[in-house]
Structure formats: structure tokens, C-alpha cells
């Protein structure tokens, strides 16, 4: 077994031991195909008010600008599909936000994996990322065969669907590289047809229309009026394009204790949410991704949903 094969096996085995569902590896290099699509995305203002996506354009496309001498991008996937879901008679939050913020959970696992690499292999330079730096995660996941880029712009694997987080280690160690897998979306357009705001086109998304963007990233005092009747009771995030995807019938419940929901989360009905105090909010969402919206943002969303529901009755 060559050193490349040995090192690759060591890293994969440790990744699976840490609970990652997939580990795919790509050769670090400039993402030429993604450059045009990213430029078009930004020119058409499909990033909405997420101006930070306009920063570090070159770094997003070239991992060697993030890690000097980078040779490999190790892409990882961590399952978050829940065994139990919110009841249907209440305002909804996206499944990824049921438990502890994934940034903490994934980053701790990445740190352990990187330390293991340094302990077992020697001096390896690198950086770890999970949705918090200029890295095109889905592009690297596609290149490494973790899944294909679906028409809903999410990474889909034929055996488990799309309910998983992505993360990366960019390192200056040469490894054995994987390749992409086939796109199995075919003629299906269920995600596009189901999106209430029309945010999706095949393999394209207008984030400024996405319910997740409107309820999380948009910090304005009000959600634009044209979307009020299209939020479908989502108060934080949205899972519609995943819930309707036929590949997610293969999703399996995760085994990560940190992603289990707070005991109070599923007990609140719509009226309880409308009367939510900041004290209760802080208790339920202590280490949750929902903190990204802040109490004021969540209540803005709930008030919007409440008003839309009232208008529909009148």
C-alpha cells in the first residue's frame, strides 16, 4: 500500500469513526466551472442582501488561496435527519435547527479529525471549514462524489437523500482522489413545482425569494409583502424542496445526541409561539441555530405568519 493509499484510508476510517456519513476527497485546484455561475449569481443579485457572498471571490474558487500549498480538499457529510418531527398544527422550523447549532458540533469533529491527521501522519498544514468561510462546499462535495448537485441546489446522495451538513478540511497532503457521481434528478421537477415563492429554477436558486433567506438572513424590520401568503407557516428556515424530493424517502435518522430537539420544542402550538417571551426563547434555543434570527427576528416572522393567517380567514 502506497503512502497516499495509507493516508487516505486512515483519514476515511477516522471520519467514519467520528460519525461522518460520507468522506470524499478532491484534488485542490481552481474551480473554473463555478467561476462563471458564481459571477452570474452575484450580477443578478440572487444573493439578496447577503453582501458577504460578494467578498473573497477568488478565495471561494481557489482553495490554495486559503491554505498555502493545498493539495487536497476532504469533504465530509454529517446526517441531521430527525427521527421525530414537529407536529403539523404549529409554526415550523427547519429540521437542521432542532438541536445544537451544527457549527459547534461539526467543527469539534473536524478539529478532532485534523488533530488525528497531524498525530498519525505528521506535520500537515491545513484549515477546517463548515459553512462559515469562503468555500464552495457544494461544489467540492460534488467533485468528491458525496452526491450530485440537485435541481434544488442541494447535494443529494442516492442512498440517503439530502438532509446532511457539509464540511471540509483543506490540507497540503496529497491523497487518493474520488470523482463525481451521476446526476439522478432526471426529468423530476417536484422541488421546483413545490417552492411557494418561485425561488427555484433547475440547478439555480434566487436566494432573495427563498423562505430560508426571508426568515433567517433578511434582517429588515418587515418581510416583503409579496411573500406574506407564501411562507406556509415556516418561522425559521424551510424544508419544502427537501421534503418533496423523492430521494429523501431514503433518509435515515441521525445518531448525533447534540441534534436531538429541546424537550419543549414540539410542545408549543401556534398560539404558544405567538406569545413567546424572550426568556422562553433563550431557554429553548440556548445553543440553537435559531439564535441567528435573534428573538426579534423570530417574532417578526411569527407576526407575519399570524397576520397572513388572519387575512386568509377574512
CB–CB of 144/75 below 8 Å? yes
Give backbone dihedrals phi and psi of 303, rounded to 5 degrees, phi first: -65, -40
DSSP state, residue 180: -
Nearest to 247 by CA among 81, 96, 104, 89: 81
How far is residue 130 from each of residues 106, 196, 201, 243, 260, measured CA to CA in Å? 7, 29, 26, 23, 20
Query: Residue 266, CB half-sphere, CA atoms under 13 Å: how many?
Result: 14
Among all residues, which ones are annotated catalytic?
Answer: 131
Classify residue 282 by burial, with Cβ atoms within 10 Å: 0-12, 13-18, 19+.
exposed
Q: How far is 211 from 228, CA to CA, in rounded Å?
A: 10
Give backbone dihedrals phi and psi of 309, rounded to 5 degrees, phi first: -65, -40
Helices (H), 44-92: 57-61
Amino acid at each position: 500500500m502506497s503512502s497516499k493509499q495509507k493516508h487516505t484510508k486512515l483519514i476515511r476510517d477516522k471520519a467514519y469513526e467520528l460519525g461522518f456519513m460520507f468522506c470524499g476527497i478532491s484534488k485542490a485546484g481552481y474551480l473554473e466551472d463555478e467561476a462563471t455561475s458564481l459571477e452570474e449569481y452575484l450580477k443578478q443579485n440572487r444573493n439578496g442582501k447577503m453582501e458577504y457572498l460578494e467578498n473573497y471571490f477568488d478565495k471561494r474558487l481557489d482553495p490554495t488561496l486559503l491554505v498555502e500549498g493545498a493539495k487536497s480538499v476532504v469533504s465530509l457529510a454529517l446526517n441531521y435527519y430527525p427521527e421525530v418531527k414537529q407536529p403539523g398544527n404549529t409554526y415550523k422550523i427547519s429540521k437542521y435547527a432542532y438541536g445544537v447549532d451544527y457549527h459547534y458540533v461539526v467543527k469539534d469533529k473536524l478539529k478532532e479529525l485534523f488533530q488525528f491527521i497531524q498525530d498519525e501522519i505528521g506535520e500537515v498544514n491545513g484549515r477546517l471549514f463548515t459553512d462559515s468561510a469562503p468555500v464552495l462546499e457544494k461544489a467540492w462535495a460534488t467533485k468528491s462524489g458525496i452526491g450530485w448537485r440537485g435541481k434544488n441546489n442541494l447535494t443529494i446522495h442516492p442512498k440517503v437523500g439530502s438532509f446532511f451538513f457539509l464540511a471540509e478540511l483543506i490540507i497540503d497532503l496529497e491523497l487518493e482522489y474520488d470523482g463525481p457521481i451521476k446526476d439522478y434528478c432526471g426529468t423530476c421537477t417536484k422541488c421546483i413545482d413545490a417552492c411557494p415563492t418561485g425561488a427555484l429554477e433547475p440547478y439555480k436558486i434566487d436566494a432573495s425569494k427563498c423562505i430560508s433567506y426571508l426568515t433567517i438572513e433578511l434582517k429588515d424590520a418587515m418581510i416583503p409583502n409579496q411573500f406574506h401568503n407564501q411562507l406556509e407557516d415556516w418561522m425559521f428556515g424551510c424544508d419544502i424542496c427537501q421534503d418533496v424530493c423523492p430521494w429523501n424517502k431514503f433518509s435515515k435518522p441521525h445518531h448525533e445526541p447534540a441534534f436531538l430537539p429541546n424537550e419543549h420544542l414540539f410542545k408549543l402550538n401556534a398560539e404558544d409561539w405567538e406569545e413567546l417571551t424572550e426568556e422562553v426563547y433563550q431557554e429553548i434555543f440556548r445553543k440553537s441555530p435559531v439564535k441567528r434570527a435573534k428573538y426579534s427576528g423570530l417574532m417578526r416572522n411569527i407576526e407575519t405568519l399570524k397576520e397572513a393567517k388572519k387575512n386568509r380567514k377574512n
